[in-house]
Amino acid sequence: MKYDTYDIILAILKYLEESMDEPRIDFSKVNHEALGISEPRYGRVIEIMINEDMITGLTEVKMMGQTYPSYKAISPNITMYGLEYIQENKPSAKVYAILKEIKEWIPGM
Confidence at residue 1, expressed as pLDDT on a 0 to 100 scale: 47
Taking every pair of Cα atoms in the chain, the longest distance, rounded to a whole number of angstroms, is 63
Torsion of CA 81, 84, 88, 92, to 10 degrees: 160
Mean per-residue pLDDT for 2-8? Answer: 84
Quick check: 70 and 59 in contact, CB under 8 A?
no
pLDDT tens digit string along 9-62?
A: 999 999 999 999 999 999 999 999 999 999 999 999 999 999 999 999 999 999
pTM of the predicted model, to two decimals? 0.81
What single-letter amino acid sits at 55? I
Confidence at residue 30, expressed as pLDDT on a 0 to 100 scale: 94
Instruction: Tell me the torsion sign for CA atoms 60, 64, 69, 74.
Output: negative
Q: Which residue has the higher pLDDT, 105 or 87?
A: 87
Q: Average per-residue pLDDT in the chain?
A: 87
